[in-house]
């Protein structure tokens, strides 16, 4: 068996370079940009007001007590005032409106005293360029807005769109095929007849989508070589193949042998971890193979630990899952030679995390997985811990809100 760290290093090193494509900006959420994105305009395009009030030249305020300032018009967003404005003149102005040339201050409407269309006094502590958003203060033309290999979020979309760009270059999505295997597996809605519902395929599909890749469900293969091989006949259309089930050493665990017969180069089999020990990793032409155990928790944990960094590497995105520190609310027994991932409930109290491991850690127990929101990480040969001991953990929501 190899260590988790060594397995991750080997798996991610096999990711190849993806082609990119130019797509409409409104289809970019969750994609990874393949090129730096630069502004094509100034934002704002001119000096604009950040408040409702009165725009004027600050020189008009020098003798306000004896020379009131006449209001000669208004400027609103999209409807600028076009005439010349002299000293001792001003315009009423609204948030987002263009500021005419020569004006350098905004007096707030609630800080002035008006009489017969004139400003006769103000209690504002005036400062030049007060409440004025200067041209290009958000960003200037040719400013770098977003580095390549960044995740396009709703926040970054707002930034890109405000620079008036309709299309950007993004990496094509990583294509991930999913194959479940097992005579006992049934499609959802089927009559069971001593079988079980195949939940891993949909579990993987949603996880893959949350990682920014495109899933393809190849269905369920029976526990015989011809059924498995038939499902895998077009496997090289995909960047990654995930199999779930058939990865161990039993009589009906045939995935590894079938893949080897199809030409897979086996790179390693078995990782020193719990759950997820009988993990297969290999290469079949240009397709990377990850063979996960059939138990749902093993599939889930293996996806977080191995699939996520692999997909990130395809996108040339090296962001790692944050490892947090917290305090256990239950004693933990000593660990064996395998790195262990314990399902747990984590909560934050007074800026500290506290974690309670769920009572049933069997890798088939989806009920305990659904109640957990974190994984406590136990290193190989970790000593027994008392309640209140510090532990490392992964918070699911740090990966994605859907995880």
Architecture in CATH of 21-43+140-171: Alpha-Beta Complex (3.90)
- pLDDT for the residue 251: 61
State mean pLDDT over 271-290: 94
State mean pLDDT over 196-214: 88
Per-residue burial over 89-106, b = 16 or more CB atoms within 10 Å of its CB, e = otherwise? bbbbbbebbbbbeebbbb
Of the candidates 109, 136, 134, 135, the residue with the CA atom closest to the CA atom of residue 123: 109
Q: How far apart are CA 17 and CA 14, in angstroms?
A: 10
- pLDDT for the residue 365: 78
List, for residues 87-101, the tens digit of each pLDDT value.
999 999 999 999 999
Residue 175 has pLDDT above 60, yes or no: yes
- pLDDT for the residue 184: 72
List, for residues 317-363, the tens digit of each pLDDT value.
888 899 999 999 999 999 999 999 999 999 999 999 999 999 878 77
Q: Which fold has domain 4-17+173-314?
A: Molybdenum Cofactor Biosythetic Enzyme; Chain A (3.40.980)
- pLDDT for the residue 186: 64
State mean pLDDT over 216-243: 92
- pLDDT for the residue 224: 86
Model confidence band, residue 245 (pLDDT cutoffs 50, 70, 90): confident
Lowest mean pLDDT among 63-72, 237-246, 276-285, 362-371: 362-371
**Domain range annotation of the chain:** 4-17+173-314, 21-43+140-171, 48-133, 324-399
Lowest mean pLDDT among 116-130, 176-190, 332-346, 371-385: 176-190
Question: What CATH code is assigned to 324-399?
Answer: 2.40.340.10
Stronger pLDDT, 401 or 133, i.e. the higher one? 133
- pLDDT for the residue 215: 97
User: Token digits for 172?
Assistant: 């094509």
Of the candidates 79, 83, 78, 80, the residue with the CA atom closest to the CA atom of residue 70: 83
pTM: 0.84
Question: CATH homologous superfamily of domain 48-133?
Answer: Molybdopterin biosynthesis moea protein, domain 3. (2.170.190.11)
Q: Do domains 48-133 and 324-399 have the same CATH topology?
A: no
- pLDDT for the residue 192: 67
């Amino acid at each position: 068996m190899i260590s988790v760290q060594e397995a991750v290093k080997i798996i991610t090193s096999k990711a190849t370079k993806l082609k990119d494509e130019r797509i409409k900006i409104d289809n970019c959420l969750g994609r990874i940009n393949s090129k730096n994105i630069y502004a094509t305009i100034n934002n704002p395009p001119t000096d604009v007001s950040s408040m409702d009030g009165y725009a004027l030249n600050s020189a008009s305020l020098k003798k306000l007590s004896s020379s009131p300032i006449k209001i000669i018009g208004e400027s609103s967003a999209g409807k600028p005032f076009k005439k010349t404005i002299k000293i001792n003149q001003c315009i009423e102005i609204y948030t987002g409106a263009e500021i005419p040339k020569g004006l350098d201050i905004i007096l707030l409407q609630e800080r002035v005293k008006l009489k017969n269309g004139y400003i006769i006094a103000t209690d504002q502590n005036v400062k030049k360029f007060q409440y004025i958003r200067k041209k290009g203060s958000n960003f200037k033309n040719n400013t770098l807005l977003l580095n390549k290999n960044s995740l396009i979020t709703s926040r970054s979309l707002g930034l890109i769109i405000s620079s008036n760009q309709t299309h950007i270059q993004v990496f094509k999505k990583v294509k991930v095929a999913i194959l479940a295997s097992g005579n006992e597996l049934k499609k959802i809605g089927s009559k069971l007849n001593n079988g079980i519902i195949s939940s891993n395929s949909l579990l993987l599909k949603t996880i893959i989508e949350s990682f920014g890749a495109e899933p393809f469900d190849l269905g369920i293969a029976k526990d015989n070589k011809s059924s498995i091989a038939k499902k895998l006949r077009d496997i090289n259309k995909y960047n990654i193949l995930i199999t779930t089930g058939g990865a161990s050493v039993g009589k009906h665990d045939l995935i590894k042998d079938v893949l080897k017969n199809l030409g897979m180069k086996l790179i390693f089999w078995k990782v020193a971890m719990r759950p997820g020990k009988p993990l297969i990793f290999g290469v079949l032409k240009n397709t990377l193979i990850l063979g996960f155990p059939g138990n749902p928790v093993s599939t889930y944990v293996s996806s977080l630990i191995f699939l996520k960094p692999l997909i990130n590497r395809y996108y040339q995105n090296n962001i790692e899952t944050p490892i947090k520190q917290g305090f256990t609310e239950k004693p933990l027994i000593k660990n064996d030679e395998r790195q262990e991932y314990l399902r747990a409930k984590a909560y934050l109290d007074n800026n500290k995390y506290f974690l309670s491991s769920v009572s049933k850690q069997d890798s088939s127990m989806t009920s305990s997985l659904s109640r957990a929101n974190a994984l406590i990480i136990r290193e190989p040969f970790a000593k027994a811990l008392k309640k209140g001991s510090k532990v490392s953990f992964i918070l699911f929501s740090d990966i994605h809100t859907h995880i």
